[in-house]
């Protein structure tokens, strides 16, 4: 009986650590329709949105109480991987937007505060 209780608690602990891994979502690569549709102001707006997203990811990835459970489960590796993948996807989209801005000759607008 005691063994079954220990097993149940272990399974519950592992399940909880999976639930506390932070999720940030992903920024999609530019689709062909976006490349055709976006004009210079829209490209600039998309770059600003990406900057806000990156700021949000960085803020959300700060340490909080739920991180204790995540650290117990996987030493915090899951959160670090999730954050890295989210930022990598955002960086790829931003580079695509800047390249599109260059192609459409609107670099002066896109190269403003959107680039870091």
Q: What is the pTM of this model?
A: 0.66
Residue 115 within a domain = no
Residue 32 within a domain = yes
Q: Is residue 110 scored above 50 in pLDDT?
A: no
pLDDT band of 60, cuts 50, 70, 90? confident
The residue segments making up the domain with residue 31 are 2-110
Give how far Cα 113 sits from Cα of 20, 24, 91, 96, 106, Å. Answer: 34, 23, 15, 16, 14
Q: Is residue 6 scored above 70 in pLDDT?
A: no
Per the prediction, the chain carries an average pLDDT of 76
User: What's the CA gap between 47 and 112, in Å, rounded?
Assistant: 10
Domains contained in the chain, number = 1
Residue 63 within a domain = yes
Residue 116 within a domain = no
Residue 74 within a domain = yes
Residue 56 within a domain = yes
Mean pLDDT across the stretch 7-23?
Answer: 55
DSSP one-letter string for 1-29: -HHHHHHHHHHHHHHHHHHTS-----PPP
pLDDT tens for each residue of 20-52: 567 778 888 999 999 999 999 999 999 999 999
């Amino acid at each position: 009986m005691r063994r079954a209780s220990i097993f149940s608690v272990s399974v519950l602990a592992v399940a909880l650590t999976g639930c506390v891994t932070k999720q940030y979502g992903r920024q999609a690569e530019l689709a062909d329709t976006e490349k055709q549709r976006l004009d210079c102001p829209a490209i600039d707006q998309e770059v600003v949105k990406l900057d806000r997203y990156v700021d949000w990811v960085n803020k959300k990835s700060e340490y909080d109480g739920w991180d204790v459970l995540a650290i117990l489960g996987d030493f915090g590796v899951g959160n670090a991987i999730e954050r890295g993948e989210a930022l990598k996807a955002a960086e790829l989209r931003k580079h695509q937007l800047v390249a599109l801005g260059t192609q459409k000759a609107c670099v002066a607008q896109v190269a403003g505060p959107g680039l870091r």
